[in-house]
A and B are shown apart, each in its own frame.
Chain A
């Protein structure tokens, strides 16, 4: 449904070009919840900006149902990391959620229905008349999530949405996202740097390499659909998956040397993951292979400072 094909982004810095994303290819199926993890500074934000149409890639393409993404698509919503800066402080909570619907020219009754529904779904039915800055950080991010849901998107992108909230709020919000995903049947791409979060939330975890970025591994999360902070996180399988993703990220960070091991790990994943479809397994191979190829001796360590 959402295809990222050969995506490449090079920033033209002063005098030299910085390659942020080298060659990314992955595919999300309709209704899938995938998490994207990678070492910090690996170009996750660049990738997300390209996928959401906020930034044009240097090469490659992003398509939704075969339609190329050249600007923000009308059926896509984004939740940003900086909740405090993505909400309009001069609008009420309700005004924030309603704004995109006004632009969609929906009739007033329908707008009210959607706003009420979305606020109720994130547990903020009572806070509609307040301003965002009157709420706690976690509640502000709920408002941003409500705005995304009221927009009725087919694709929901989330850019490290819980990075700035405390651990307990974070757990609540993770469960909220799983619930909303099941209820509204959206395709969700969730970018995070938190391995536990990625494994807990996703049906699949795409591991990115260090910059210049390629797909390092593609791990299918074969945990039961009904997840719970207590039982899921203490399940042995959770620990295994977590360890696997962690290892891949370490390989990604170490760059050279990690490539061969990474390829082997990737192959191992595809082999042991019997529940995955053939297409997924081959994709995982392809991704890991790509990582191996990228980790050649010619690979210069690229400073990650100027990437964001």
Chain B
């Protein structure tokens, strides 16, 4: 942005550049202001309390680099993320795969509903001891725990989304002979996709929680295990850095998800904006 343009243009350009810089600074202030205040507060609290368990942010940051930018990244972080994504993907496939037939068939839904309501009501962490016995202590057990919790929001949202297919669109498909797989792809899954995405978004945060819980309970590696180990060995800054890493992981995953959703559901946002405008 150069301000030394033509005589009449330069004034305007400088003004625009100035405004842009100001709005940019304002935006940055809005985004970073609260975190900065909170970190400062934390720092002050840590320094004034003198508690052994309350580590100040500077120490945590230093420890963070030391602990996680190391061998641990490959032995703890990557396997945990892999486990999380495997369980999440399986839950997505299972939830959508079961949700579509359940959404399409009233009879099937009536038969399955009581069982689904019961299974959904069982808190997934309670399955950890059971799955330890059934599946064993390996990674597939932990993936099974993640699946058992993540599948419900996906499944129930898919059922609702499929049920809510617009009858006029369904008639349109019938009139023009659109059936079978094309009907499934063009009509059913696409019109349910905003709801399916909502289910997937809920499932993502559940997946992180269950990954950590399953690793805390029954594992000899992974992020959850590492945090518990640090706590037991009174490696308090290390424990804090593990918590921070889990938080960052959640932020990154939901940012990736939001990006994918923005792309896949661009039509939905457009449609909503258009109908609000009228």
Contact = CB atoms under 8 A, between A and B. Distances in A.
A77 interface: yes
Interface string A79-90: 010101110111
Task: Sort chain B's interface into a size bin.
Answer: 20 to 34
B274 interface: yes
B186 interface: yes
A186 to B, nearest CB: 15
A102 B181 CA distance: 12
Interface in B259-278: 267-268, 270-271, 274-275
Contacts, number: 68
Contact of B169 (A72, A88, A134, A147): A88
A104 B267 contact: no
Interface string B237-278: 000000000000000000000000000000110110011000
Contacts of B176: 72, 77, 99-100, 103, 147, 151
Given A52-B175, A78-B175, A85 B166 contact: yes
Contact of B271 (A52, A86, A100, A133): A133
A134 B182 CA distance: 25
Interface string B183-218: 000110011010000000000000000000000000
Interface string A88-119: 11110000000110111000000000000000
Interface string A10-21: 000000000000
A131 B177 contact: no
B182 to A, nearest CB: 6
B186 A80 contact: no
Interface of A: 52, 54, 71-72, 74, 76-78, 80, 82, 84-86, 88-91, 99-100, 102-104, 131, 133-134, 147, 151
Give the 5 A-B residue pairs with the shortest CB-CB distance, closest first. Answer: A100-B176, A85-B168, A133-B274, A90-B267, A133-B271
14 contacts: A52-B175, A72-B175, A74-B177, A80-B168, A88-B186, A88-B187, A89-B271, A90-B191, A100-B178, A103-B176, A103-B178, A131-B267, A131-B271, A151-B176
